[in-house]
């Protein structure tokens, strides 16, 4: 996935206009159009941070994609460590951002923030989702609108999908720090 595609898809998913995003980021609508159409290949770090906030995305992931747009793709050495691990994406729940066959690196040491992509163990399943902290737990959101969000209530140990609630265990395994598209 290209940064331009993610910006457009996420903006549309949130029901925002180019004008609304432009106002939050402090640029013109034309600049948002150039970013979303891929005309502008590199976005400043300052604007990446503002885009991440506006679109509820991880700054780290946007920086990775922003670097990938200019063909800087190798895994940075500081990310390779004893605690960093990788997962192979096997389902379509994170399309249009991650596709089956992509590899994602996670770090359990990274601080989790709203909109980050995380690996979470829910019961005996390991999932990759956007995370949104809530007052009593977390909302795990897939990128693909054909999949349902999962509400995790840490107070009573339940998970809810499509209004069906069940007891479960829940562990945040790590935050995504890098990904590589299957070639």
Q: Are residues 82 and 150 in the same domain?
A: yes
Assigned domain for 123 exists: yes
Do residues 143 and 175 share a domain? yes
pLDDT at 65: 66
Examine the domain organization and report whether 122 and 166 are in the same domain.
yes
Q: Is residue 73 part of a domain?
A: no
Query: Which of 35, 68, 101 is the endpoint of a domain?
Result: 68
Same domain, 61 and 94: no
CB 27: neighbour CB atoms within 10 A?
17
Is 17 a member of any domain? yes
End residue of a domain, out of 68, 100, 124: 68
In 3D space, the residue among 107, 46, 113 whose CA is nearest the CA of residue 78 turns out to be 107
Note whether 161 and 84 are same-domain residues: yes
pLDDT by residue for the chain (183 residues), tens digit each? 577 878 888 888 889 999 999 999 999 999 999 888 878 778 887 888 899 889 888 776 676 666 554 333 344 444 455 567 888 888 888 988 888 888 888 888 778 889 999 998 887 788 899 999 999 999 999 998 888 898 998 888 888 887 787 888 888 888 998 888 876
Residues 88 and 130 in one domain: yes
Structural domain of residue 106, as residue ranges? 78-180
Count other C-beta atoms under 10 Å from residue 121's C-beta.
14
- Domain of 61, CATH number, reads 1.10.260.40
The two structure tokens encoding residue 85: 């691990």
Cis geometry, peptide bond prior to residue 52 (ω within 30 degrees of 0): no
- What per-residue confidence (pLDDT) applies to 30? 92
160 in the same domain as 137: yes
| Domain end position, chosen among 68, 87, 116 | 68
CA dist list (Å): 65 to 8, 43, 97, 125, 162: 14, 10, 10, 27, 32
What does pTM read for this prediction?
A: 0.57
Are both 90 and 161 inside the same structural domain? Answer: yes
Same structural domain for residues 34 and 106? no
CATH of the domain at 164: 2.10.109.10
Q: Determine the pLDDT at residue 1.
A: 52
Same domain, 90 and 150: yes
d(CA 2, CA 167): 38
């Amino acid at each position: 996935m290209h940064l331009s595609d993610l910006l457009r898809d996420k903006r549309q998913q949130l029901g925002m206009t180019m004008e609304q995003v432009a106002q939050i980021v402090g640029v013109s609508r034309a600049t948002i159009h150039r970013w979303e159409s891929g005309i502008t290949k590199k976005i400043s770090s300052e604007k990446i941070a503002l885009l991440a906030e506006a679109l509820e995305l991880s700054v780290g992931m946007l920086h990775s994609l922003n670097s990938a747009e200019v063909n800087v793709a190798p895994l940075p050495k500081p990310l390779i460590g004893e605690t960093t691990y990788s997962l192979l994406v096997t389902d379509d729940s994170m399309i249009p951002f991650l596709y089956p066959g992509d590899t994602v690196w996670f770090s359990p040491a990274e601080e989790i923030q709203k909109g980050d992509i995380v690996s979470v163990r829910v019961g005996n399943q390991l999932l990759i989702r956007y995370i949104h902290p809530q007052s009593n737990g977390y909302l795990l959101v897939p990128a693909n609108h054909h999949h349902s969000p999962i509400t995790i209530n840490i107070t009573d140990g339940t998970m809810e999908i499509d209004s069906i609630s069940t007891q479960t265990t829940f562990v945040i395994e790590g935050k995504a720090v890098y990904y590589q598209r299957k070639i």
